[in-house]
Homo-oligomer: A and B are copies of this chain.
């Protein structure tokens, strides 16, 4: 199980002896790790693309049962990697063991949920439509039409830094595409290349055990962006699954826009996930609610895409604010996933500090210079509305309380919100009923609304939606989590007879 640093191209581990290399990094020690990884070359990408297109012709013909077995086998092979997987990822991400074991479980759940849907011939997806023939219809007889669904073709998947299993090499995008019948080419995230290699070993075993065509999965290691752009520009690629930053997504979209054939780019980008807290609720449960919000915000040290970054709180809720302040002050600091993320976090904090209309309420204890400590700020609605920066996601442990004086100012703030992955409303039953219009308006800003619950924690189920209006995602019609994620890689075919 030694790490080779190579890319995996249609069943072969291929290196690049002449080109670019990179080292992996250990955020826990703030030092580079010794293993060398090799940027995939253009020729290797071409080889992966050709093999994927060739595999598509075989793979798409497999039965749902065969694809289900493949997905279940992948899950088993990931578990068979054993503890070396967890240890390797702990080193590459500094995420704690329990968090990674939970994420590994979630990754199994995703694979098995798709397998289970396939075993039921996709019945849980509600895709079946038939209109029976009617020979007696006038003026013309009616044919029988049946709506079927076909895989779209080869899918490119980009791994995310913050979920090295569930949104990376064999994460939800890969599982959804393979379930749909689409071969996958993964461009790994260079924040956890050894983890990606181990995951690919598991995939390799599953491909061999199930006798799948070799091109059904390839994995490209690369630090250079050029590989990513070549991948999304390749004519055989028919859809892209992406989780990451707005800027990287935008750059990839520019490349995609130059293609002759437009293809869907499913980018899950991020958001501030606003929390709307009503007065009576804050008065009744303020302390408990504040503690829950701080705990939710600190999950993964603020690096969950559903982290609650902006909290709308009635002015003068001292009990709520005090509890939040104490919780943040008591939080130990931790690392962020990459030096780049740490740099962005420091820059965002400097922006908050430099805004004279923003008050710092609390700051956690910084244990080491390369750690990020938790921050809690406050401002009023006008300040929030006047600043683009305050409305943007801070990736890391930071939250902003936006104090509102009355329903009108809260409504103004909600009306101005950009698209969000999720939001929560926290109110008494009476408050939720009284504010039905505002909550309805909030629906149009988000992909998921949680009533009285924390935004973190995205269930893997048929009714989940993890996505949202721009700029939280690039395609408001789609989800990257749950069974519906599979429909991103399917397309309709009507059979008329």
Interface residues of A (CB under 8 A from B): 57, 60-61, 102, 126-131, 139-140, 142-143, 145-148, 150, 152, 253, 257, 261-262, 264-265, 440-441, 443-444, 446-453, 457, 459, 461-467, 469-471, 474-479, 484, 490-497
In the assembled complex, the Cα of A459 lies from the Cα of B145 at a distance in Å of 9
Q: Which of A152, A490, A496 has the most CB of B within 10 A?
A: A496
Closest to A263 in B: B470
Report the nearest B residue to A253, measured CB to CB: B262
| Complex CA–CA separation, A439 to B199 (angstroms) | 37
With contacts A470-B262, A477-B491 taken as known, whether A496 is within 8 angstroms of B461 at the C-beta atoms is no
Can you list 12 contacts pairing A with B, beta carbon distance less than 8 Å? Answer: A61-B440, A126-B129, A129-B462, A131-B461, A140-B457, A147-B465, A261-B470, A262-B265, A450-B497, A476-B491, A478-B492, A484-B492
List residues of chain B with CB within 8 A of the CB of A61: 440
CB-CB < 8 A to A447: which residues of B? 492-494
Task: Say yes or no: B150 contacts A463, CB within 8 Å.
Answer: no
Q: Are A446 and B493 in contact (CB under 8 A)?
A: yes
**Are A145 and B461 in contact, CB atoms less than 8 angstroms apart?**
yes
Q: How far is the CB of A490 from chain B (nearest CB, A)?
A: 8
**CB atoms of A150 and B444 under 8 A apart:** yes
- Among B150, B463, B491, point to the contact of A129 (Cβ < 8 A): B463
By a CB distance below 8 angstroms, the chain B residues around A492 are 447, 465, 467, 477-479, 484
Tell me the bound Cα distance from A253 to B477 in angstroms: 19
A262 touches B474 (CB 8 A): yes
Which B residues are in CB contact (< 8 Å) with A494?
Answer: 447-449, 463-466, 479
Q: Which residues of chain B are within 8 angstroms of A474 by Cβ–Cβ distance?
A: 262
Q: Per a CB cutoff under 8 Å, which of B145, B467, B475 touches A464?
A: B145
Taken together as a complex, chains A and B put the C-alpha atoms of A476 and B489 apart, in Å, by 10
With A145-B464, A479-B492, A492-B477 known as contacts, the answer to whether A127 contacts B129 (CB < 8 A) is: no
Evaluate contact between B143 and A463: CB separation under 8 angstroms: no
Interface pair A459/B497, CB less than 8 Å apart:
no
Complex: chain B residue closest to A261, CB-CB: B470
- Residues A495 and B449 in contact, CB atoms below 8 Å apart: yes
Instruction: Among B129, B443, B444, B496, point to the contact of A448 (Cβ < 8 A).
Output: B496
